[in-house]
């Protein structure tokens, strides 16, 4: 089974309210890339990957006047993709959904949220992801109320051979201090954002523990907006968000080879899944996207790849694919082949 996670930057802007591709020369939300260029590039990337299923981060919006599943299924039909059936879980107000696009000839899939639907009142015990989680973030003996702006997508997959997989698609809170007007405010916002992101990942890890304690096959995949190891702010909290979700107990520990490399290496080249820049600054690369698997799935010997246009030799040597990856998004797909 070939799966991927792919953050497609502002996929939503490529569609009109009816879910049709706009596909013209107007600008997309990618810097200096038209909608037609981004659409064609995404078509090339998806066709080349030829996936059984993909977790799409920043998927098209679902709201009163738009349906992200219609948009994604239109995209799949346009480029004749096998993965052509779409699921979106709890929609949100950011115009960036989390969606699962899959091949219905190979598997059945459904939105399968777990946890109590507690709403805004919150709970300390891993409530449903469209609710609120209570956790004391600032050690003042009063629990803070944590929510997801983009609730994780929980999917139950049953293959045609009867194999059951549980998938969780993630788009964690960004740590960037957006809106800061001074260094002091940037520091304050950075610390606050990291606290919120860590709390989200503690909530997510509680859900992971439940699956693994029941002996279920689990894949957690998506954009964590975080890399393994500690930055200057995370040193205040002793753990990164990625390490929290991976877990500490070896018997219940998730595995991602790129996270393992980054955690164990102090020098040398690191795996990266994104490439972005600010005006008048050089490009920056970061490891933000992961496919974490449960111990039983790891023992099957799956193979991971980051489809990086420069670091992956097959992507680099395929010039049309390399150019498409650079045009399509500021993130690159992470792909896993599972011998199922």
Q: What is the pLDDT of residues 16-65, one digit of tens each?
A: 999 999 999 999 999 999 999 999 999 999 999 999 999 999 999 999 99
Residue 237 has pLDDT above 80, yes or no: no
Among residues of the chain, what percentage have pLDDT more than 70?
Answer: 90
Q: Which residue has the higher pLDDT, 176 or 131?
A: 131
Q: What is the pLDDT of residues 247-256, one digit of tens each?
A: 999 899 999 9
pLDDT at 263: 86
Grouping H, G, I as helix, E, B as strand and the rest as coil, residue 339 is coil
233 pLDDT tier (thresholds 50, 70, 90):
very low
User: In angstroms, what CA-CA distances link 245 with 167, 287, 315?
Assistant: 14, 15, 29
- List phi, psi (to 5°) of 243: -65, -35
Q: Which residue has the higher pLDDT, 196 or 86?
A: 86
pLDDT at 142: 80
**22-31, 167-176, 278-287: which has the highest mean pLDDT?**
22-31
For residue 58, is it left (φ>0), alpha (ψ between -120 and 50) or beta?
Answer: left
Please report the domains of the chain, with CATH numbers, ordered by start residue: 2-337 (3.60.10.10)
pLDDT at 279: 79
Of 28, 95, 25, 87, residue with least CA distance to 53: 87
Element (H or E) spanning 42, and its range? helix 35-49
Q: What is the pTM (predicted TM-score) of this model? A: 0.94
pLDDT at 230: 46
In terms of DSSP bridges, do strands 85-88 and 97-102 run parallel, antiparallel, or are they unpaired? Answer: antiparallel
Q: Which residue has the higher pLDDT, 54 or 190?
A: 54
pLDDT at 180: 55
pLDDT at 220: 98
Identify whether the C-beta of residue 255 lies closer than 8 Å to the C-beta of residue 295: yes
Mean of all residue pLDDT scores within the chain = 92
pLDDT at 184: 64
| Burial annotation 313-340 (CB, 10 A radius, 16+ → b, else e) | eebeebeebbebbbbbbbbbbbbbebeb
Grouping H, G, I as helix, E, B as strand and the rest as coil, residue 33 is coil
pLDDT at 188: 67
């Amino acid at each position: 089974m070939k799966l991927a996670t792919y953050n497609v930057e502002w996929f939503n802007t490529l569609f009109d309210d009816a879910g049709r591709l706009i596909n013209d020369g107007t600008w997309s939300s990618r810097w200096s890339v038209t909608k037609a260029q981004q659409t064609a590039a995404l078509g090339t990337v998806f066709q080349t990957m030829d996936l059984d299923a993909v977790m799409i981060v920043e998927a098209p919006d679902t709201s009163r006047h738009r349906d992200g599943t219609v948009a994604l299924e239109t995209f799949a039909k346009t480029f004749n993709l096998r993965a052509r059936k779409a699921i979106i879980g709890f929609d949100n107000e950011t115009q960036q959904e989390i969606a699962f696009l899959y091949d219905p000839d190979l598997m059945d899939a459904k939105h399968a949220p777990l946890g109590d639907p507690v709403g805004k009142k919150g709970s300390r015990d891993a409530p449903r992801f469209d609710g609120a989680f209570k956790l004391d973030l600032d050690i003042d003996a009063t629990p803070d109320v944590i929510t997801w702006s983009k609730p994780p997508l929980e999917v139950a997959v049953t293959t045609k051979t009867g194999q059951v997989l549980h998938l969780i698609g993630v788009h964690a809170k960004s740590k960037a201090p957006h809106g800061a007007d001074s260094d002091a405010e940037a520091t304050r916002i950075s610390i606050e954002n990291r606290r919120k992101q860590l709390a989200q990942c503690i909530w997510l890890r509680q859900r992971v523990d439940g699956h693994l304690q029941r002996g279920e096959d689990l894949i957690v995949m998506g954009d964590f907006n975080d890399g393994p190891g500690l930055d200057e702010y995370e040193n205040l909290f002793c753990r990164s968000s990625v390490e929290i979700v991976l877990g500490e107990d070896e018997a219940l520990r998730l595995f991602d080879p790129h996270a393992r490399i980054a955690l164990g290496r102090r020098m040398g080249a690191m795996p990266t899944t994104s490439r972005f820049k600010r005006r008048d600054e050089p490009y920056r690369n970061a490891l933000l996207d992961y496919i974490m698997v449960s111990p039983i799935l790891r023992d099957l010997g799956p193979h991971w790849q980051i489809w990086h246009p420069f670091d992956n030799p097959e992507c680099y040597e395929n010039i049309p694919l390399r150019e498409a990856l650079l045009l399509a998004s500021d993130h690159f797909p992470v792909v896993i082949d599972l011998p199922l």
